A and B are shown apart, each in its own frame.
Chain A
Amino acid sequence: MTEPLIDLQAVTKVYPGVKEPAVKALNLAVEPGEILVLVGPSGCGKSTTLRLINRMIEPTSGRIIYEGQDVTKGDPNELRRRMGYVIQQIGLFPHRTIAENIATVPRMLKWPKKKIKERVDELLEVVSMDPSIYRDRYPSELSGGQAQRVGVARALGADPDVLLMDEPFGAIDPITRDRLQNEFLRLQADLKKTIVFVTHDIDEAVKMGDRIAILRDQSEIAQLDRPEVILTDPADEFVENFLGSGAILKTLTLRRVRDIDLDPMVTLKQPVHRSQALSEMNEANTTSAVLLDEQDRPLRWLDERALNSSSSALERSGRPITVQLQPEDTLQDALSAMLQTSSGMSVVVDGRGRYLGCCTIESLAGLLLTQGNETSSP
């Protein structure tokens, strides 16, 4: 195990005038490069815990270790400039342009002007916003999704090792949220930041987290593990209840089509003649096949009956293939794709659209049933 980047040691927060601590003797180690999701019912202290890390809330007792140093004392502003911070309300400065917003921390750190300008453009590219369009705009001209992208870019301003994110996608509509989550995960694959992510949404936690800490009252850790372990092996009743019914279904989003053993199907590559097709299917002792074009891209489902009953060209017999899966798709995507087809079967293609194989509802079910015993990472 590597040295943790952030280490909370017996951190307690008691608000003045309140008897019960909001966070009670919490020990939490965040490994470098991981997304650690803090999730729990409202009022469990997950947000407080996040804000203890950059001392937006000062701990009553305990120690905060960051990069091997005790940062419990000392200037909190210095500490915060080394950590990106993203909140649900975003909090862009409305009187500053997008570029000025993103440049906030680099400016405080007195970076040279030219470097700041380059950094701003780079970050806008990173969050897929065209610098020439957005650089000089004001936050009031952005949509919610764009504003949150700028919020992330601003948090990344001075290239901190750590990002603290407090329900960053909580106020965004579900479709945009899904897109932002995917974008963010893609981004993280390159950036490899250490991220502490707070949410109350278990689905978001499962999707985003390398590890998930499920918290109960006073920020007590009920379970801290990889999502697939939590979903298949909840530590106690509290976790089980929090996961809700259908925890096994949630594991569908954790695994990919590439985990399934693809079924071999008879393939017929164009140009092919009807009689040749029939004889090949007979030989393989099957009644259906996949018709591919010259570049190995799947075109149609063919079956014996369709071939025998009509004399139309092969390109017009059978059924067209409308739904295709790629190895990176989640099993949830696969399931919904297969349910759309009458055969309960879907072709899998590679990035260029070339045929790789077929996956069936049976092979997917088989994978789910063996899942309880194995906990391989996706």
Chain B
Amino acid sequence: MSAAIVPTGLSTERKRRSLAAWTSDQLDLIVTPVLALILLVLLITVWSYSTFDPTTERILEPSQLARQLWQQLYVAFFSTVIVVAVAIPIGILVTRENAPRIKDTLVSFLGLGQAIPAYGLIVLFFVWLGQGAWTVIFALATFALLPVLRNTIVGLEQVDSSVIEAGKGMGMRGVQRLTKIELPLAVPVIMAGIRTATVINVGMATLAFLIGGGGLGETINAGLKLNRPTAIFIGAVLVALVALVFDFAGGLAQRYLRPKGV
């Protein structure tokens, strides 16, 4: 799409467009917190009004939950950082004019990787790297690489080629075109990919307990093993809450990092 096609009658057009944008943003940024609030209320209600038997009480020991929560966030955070640090540079490299034509192969290869269940991937990495949180981090980073890489590629390629051509014609160097035109215009799409990856990582970090990586999976697992539905419920709701908070943060970032005028 080029700016040349935008018709006149600007003021009403603009109003209508911003109204549409407002409602979609509203959905995005209101539904998530509302959902999180409902879960929180549910959590507090269950916590305050149930009587815990000694086993449940031991599973839901607050200091233990806090440690698991912290581990969960740790795993999710670092796996996402690795994804961003790896996928975005690769996405940039393979979309350069003179880059070897490997991006399609790369994307389908990583697509295959995503077809392996995260569970299997964690076990594979365990065989290779042994126990611990960092094994999980690397496994999840591999698993969540695709959405960010694909969105980086798509985001950079959807930038109107005439805009890049104009920049080139005015004597902008390759790096200037990348940092001043292509990346800013690709930010919304790339952010959407990062948001997806974050939510995947927060959720999948629940599996970290499998190979001694800790996390809220421990609580859910103990609840399952010892048949304590309250523990299962509280562990699951906590995971969902963390995921929603991250999704909300991602939504905010997507909204405020989007370049003006686009």
Chain A: residues with CB nearer than 8 A to chain B?
A: 54, 56, 76-81, 85, 87, 89-97, 104-105, 108, 138-144, 147-148, 151, 154-155, 157, 164, 171-172
Q: A92-B163, A94-B261, A95-B185 are in contact. Are A77 and B171 (CB under 8 A)?
A: yes
The reply to whether B4 and A171 form a contact with Cβ atoms under 8 Å apart is yes
18 A-B residue pairings within 8 Å (CB atoms) = A54-B169, A56-B165, A80-B168, A80-B171, A90-B2, A90-B3, A91-B2, A91-B166, A92-B163, A94-B259, A95-B259, A95-B260, A108-B170, A139-B3, A144-B4, A144-B6, A151-B166, A155-B170
The reply to whether B4 and A90 form a contact with Cβ atoms under 8 Å apart is yes
Decide if B104 is an interface residue (CB 8 Å cutoff).
Answer: no
Which of chain B's residues have a CB closer than 8 A to the CB of A89?
A: 2, 4, 160, 162, 165
Shortest distance from the beta carbon of B191 to any chain A beta carbon, whole Å: 14
6 closest Cβ contacts across the A-B interface? Answer: A91-B166, A138-B261, A89-B162, A95-B259, A85-B169, A80-B171
Decide if B123 is an interface residue (CB 8 Å cutoff).
Answer: no
Selecting from B7-15, B40-48, B94-102, the interface stretch reads B7-15
Closest to A56 in B: B169
Shortest distance from the beta carbon of B236 to any chain A beta carbon, whole Å: 41
Would you give the 0/1 interface string for B8-39, flagging 1 where the beta carbon is closer than 8 Å to chain A? 10100010000000000000000000000000
Which of chain B's residues have a CB closer than 8 A to the CB of A155?
A: 170
A93 to B176, CA, bound (A): 13
The reply to whether B165 and A87 form a contact with Cβ atoms under 8 Å apart is yes
B4, B165, B168, B176, most chain A CB atoms within 10 A: B4
Which of chain B's residues have a CB closer than 8 A to the CB of A79?
A: 171
A150 to B219, CA, bound (A): 62
Shortest distance from the beta carbon of A267 to any chain B beta carbon, whole Å: 45
Which of chain B's residues have a CB closer than 8 A to the CB of A77?
A: 171-173
| Candidates A87, A95, A143; contact of B184 at CB < 8 Å | A95
Would you give the 0/1 interface string for B142-177, flagging 1 where the beta carbon is closer than 8 Å to chain A? 000000000000000000101111111111110010
A231 to B170, CA, bound (A): 35
Q: A90-B3, A141-B14, A143-B6 are in contact. Are A108 and B162 (CB under 8 A)?
A: no
Decide if B112 is an interface residue (CB 8 Å cutoff).
Answer: no
Which of chain A's residues have a CB closer than 8 A to the CB of B259?
A: 94-95
The reply to whether A85 and B170 form a contact with Cβ atoms under 8 Å apart is yes
Closest to A98 in B: B261
Decide if B5 is an interface residue (CB 8 Å cutoff).
Answer: yes
| Candidates A76, A91, A143; contact of B160 at CB < 8 Å | A91
| Candidates B3, B165, B172, B181; contact of A108 at CB < 8 Å | B172
Which of chain A's residues have a CB closer than 8 A to the CB of B167?
A: 91, 93, 104
Sort chain B's interface into a size bin.
20 to 34
Decide if B262 is an interface residue (CB 8 Å cutoff).
Answer: yes
Closest to A97 in B: B261
The reply to whether B261 and A105 form a contact with Cβ atoms under 8 Å apart is no
The reply to whether A90 and B170 form a contact with Cβ atoms under 8 Å apart is no
Would you give the 0/1 interface string for B41-77, flagging 1 where the beta carbon is closer than 8 Å to chain A? 0000000000000000000000000000000000000
A92 to B165, CA, bound (A): 10
The reply to whether B169 and A94 form a contact with Cβ atoms under 8 Å apart is no
Shortest distance from the beta carbon of B188 to any chain A beta carbon, whole Å: 10
Which of chain A's residues have a CB closer than 8 A to the CB of B6?
A: 140-144, 147
| Candidates B5, B168, B262; contact of A94 at CB < 8 Å | B262
The reply to whether A93 and B169 form a contact with Cβ atoms under 8 Å apart is no
| Candidates A87, A95, A147, A172; contact of B169 at CB < 8 Å | A87
The reply to whether A148 and B261 form a contact with Cβ atoms under 8 Å apart is no
Which of chain A's residues have a CB closer than 8 A to the CB of B176?
A: 108
A40 to B173, CA, bound (A): 32
A144 to B5, CA, bound (A): 6
Given contacts A91-B165, A157-B170, 14 further A-B pairs with CB under 8 A are: A77-B171, A80-B168, A85-B166, A87-B165, A89-B162, A89-B165, A93-B167, A94-B3, A94-B185, A97-B261, A108-B172, A154-B170, A171-B4, A172-B4
Which of chain A's residues have a CB closer than 8 A to the CB of B10?
A: 141
Which of chain B's residues have a CB closer than 8 A to the CB of A92?
A: 3, 163, 166
A17 to B169, CA, bound (A): 25
The reply to whether B261 and A139 form a contact with Cβ atoms under 8 Å apart is yes
Closest to B160 in A: A91
A80 to B160, CA, bound (A): 20
Which of chain B's residues have a CB closer than 8 A to the CB of A171?
A: 2, 4
Q: A138-B261, A142-B3, A143-B8 are in contact. Are A94 and B171 (CB under 8 A)?
A: no
A164 to B168, CA, bound (A): 13
The reply to whether B261 and A87 form a contact with Cβ atoms under 8 Å apart is no
A87 to B165, CA, bound (A): 9
A235 to B172, CA, bound (A): 41
Shortest distance from the beta carbon of B19 to any chain A beta carbon, whole Å: 16
Closest to A151 in B: B166
Shortest distance from the beta carbon of B242 to any chain A beta carbon, whole Å: 33
Which of chain B's residues have a CB closer than 8 A to the CB of A151?
A: 166
Which of chain A's residues have a CB closer than 8 A to the CB of B163?
A: 91-94
